[in-house]
Amino acid sequence: MIHPDILLKAYGLMCTAGAMARTYEANRSICKYVHSTSRGHEAIQLATAFQLLPCDFISPYYRDESILLGLGFSPYQLMLQLLAKADDPFTGGREYYSHPNYRGADKPTIIHQSSATGMQVIPTTGLAQGIQYLGDHLPDRLTRGAQGELPVVICSLGDASMTEGEVSEALQVAVLKKLPIIYLVQDNNWGISVSASEARAMDAYDYAAGFPGLERVRINGSHFEESYDAMRRVVQYVRQHRTPYLVQARVPLLGHHTSGVRKEFYRSEPDWQQHLTDDPVPKLRQSLIDRGIPEQELLAIEEATSQAVTSHFQEAAAAAEPDVRTVADHVFKPTPVTQEVGNRLGKETGLPTAGPTGELALGGGNRIMMVDAALFAIREIMEDHPEAILYGQDVGRRLGGVFREAATLAEQFGDHRVFNTAIQEAYIIGSTVGMSAVGLKPIVEVQFADYIYPGFNQLVTEISKSCYLSCGKFPVQTVIRVPIGAYGGGGPYHSGSVETTLLSIKGIKIVYPSNAADMKGLMKAAFLDPNPVIMLEHKGLYWSKVPGTEDAKMAEPDRDYVLPLGKGNIVLAAAPHTVERGESCCIITYGMGVYWAKAAARSFPGQVEIVDLRTLYPLDEALVFETVAKHGKCLVLTEEHRYNSFAEALAGRIAKNCFTWLDAPIDIMGCIEIPAIPMNMQLEQAALPDPEKVKAAISRLLLF
């Protein structure tokens, strides 16, 4: 038997949720931002919230206001978010109603919640994977309950979102890894105006049968006692057995889909009346009366909650609006790496060395290839930081990456720290949100730049926005490695350049090293940065096999070397006398462009200055503008297409900021305008810039 105090608490919160819904509806001119309420879902939501401990984690979805009430958030706190007020405790007025995030010792942790339906499932499964890792390998960093209870994770979602492909990716990992996560699926038979019969061949319970090892139960989510007993058993089971569970709770939808999509737009009267018969509030009220609770006591609860909600709403409506000067706060957390430190030159041994990839580093001293510089950086990171883990397709023990960029790491650090994933770019990228939230520092790899698109949703929707929309509570500290660029007949799906696409996303940093020393220093800085950093690593520079790229090999910097993001470098300076006579130009470039530019510049001794950007965001604008102003003639060189590209946008910024110093229009060179890089190597070469084409561009510039 459930204690009457629990039932009365649940009834009071149900009445609170109902009063909130009525208040919002009666004040639509004030409640002008789109919102949903939990009417019809209150029983399963409260039953779930009541099982959780402060050591646990939960990801609600946009209809879960009753879960938040059950966790102990007040109507006033929720209303501050509803009305986008300055003191909104979750996002400071930046995010929709019932889109919480929370860190505190008194309640379960809630990572940032997005509005993209079903997208929370991957980050939340990443939470469970991170908790499992801490419990198995870093137990001192795992927060337990007061009685030593192990934490569980709950991911709440509507049944319509179960058809999302990313949900399948998460369920695959949950059963494969046996993660301590509960997927709470609230099934009200609607996905906006799409009915279940239109949208799905099976419900969540039947779908779960296709994932062996995923325990499952189907319950009446409108009945509080049944929901409470079921969730108590499920939470205890997962807390003890550390295995995933799916709960499908059938519930009515007793409100509008949202305040903007009204029920009268799409629901029939018979459907509405059918849902009303399942209202959880009168069910629990009758149960309390049957248990001997006086009706007068229930009426008192109803009156008290109604008055409290009215008071809370009046207070929230009168609360201050956000200060517009804070609109750009929290895009990034401050990085500790602000200066170049350590020994870049390394220790000269006078002998060639062989890296783990098996390639011999040529030349005097310990010159190493870029691929080994990345490998050595990650090796040192993992030696110094036990929270660092590395995963992605084929990076594990057998292969060590298709470019051997992770060779030997699994042997040294174990399969728990360096491991393979399935072909799941969305999970590889999105899981870093949850991993980071529990204190791990994931380094992940997307095998080719062309393959990043399946993970783009997680990158845009979850990773890039988390710090900003959580007011800095949940920055995603991750390094995403992406081999990029055309090299030796890779063909249409292994040769792409994607920097412009990535640079369109705000809230991430983009690094593009062109040599081994920069690779190591930037990799260290990227790892130490508390924000998401994408490392674009040109495949053609990994081993310096492309003619003219021998300079990508450099002496390995010492262990202490760190190169801050956002600092460009002049890799070739023009002679002062050519600058004074106006006979010089500059090339702004990065990646393979550095070597095309250096090769071309040999034909113009002392007349060409080359800036290697090294980081595309943040960009070293000061160095770029200063260099262009000095020469008055500029070529922006990229491997990407020219039109609508980062290079073209950069040229526009240069033209605006350096207008008074320009002696010629800004020139731009990139790949020709074709949708893919052809496989035939002659065709590939015809599509891309090369030293001869750059020479021609320099000649044209120097004529001005």
Cα separations in angstroms, 239 against 107, 232, 516 = 17, 10, 47
Q: Please report where in the chains the tokens 């999302």 appear, as a residue.
A: 164
- How many Å apart are CA 704 and CA 697, to the nearest integer? 12
Angle subtended at Cα 178 by Cα 174 and Cα 180, rounded to the nearest 5 degrees:
80
Smallest CA-to-CA distance from 173 within 421, 392, 401, 397 is with: 421
Segments in 242-279 forming alpha helices (H): 269-276
At 327, list the tokens: 């609109």
Among the listed residues 494, 538, 631, 641, the single catalytic one is 494
- Concerning whether 241 is annotated as a catalytic residue, the answer is no
The three-class DSSP label of residue 406 is coil
The three-class DSSP label of residue 19 is helix
Smallest CA-to-CA distance from 403 within 443, 358, 353 is with: 358
User: What are the phi and psi torsion angles at 322 (to 5°)?
Assistant: -65, 150
Inter-residue contact 701 to 666 (CB < 8 Å): no
Give the strand order in the sheet containing 608-612: 569-572, 608-612, 585-589, 634-641, 667-671
Smallest CA-to-CA distance from 399 within 388, 386, 409 is with: 409
CB neighbourhood size of 565 (10 A): 24
Q: Is 551 exposed, middle or buried (0-12, 13-18, 19+ CB in 10 A)?
A: middle
Inter-residue contact 259 to 32 (CB < 8 Å): no
Helix axes 4-26, 42-49, angle to 10 degrees: 130
- H or E element, residue 410: helix 409-413
Angle subtended at Cα 372 by Cα 369 and Cα 376, rounded to the nearest 5 degrees:
135
Smallest CA-to-CA distance from 231 within 213, 249, 211, 207 is with: 249
Catalytic residues: 494
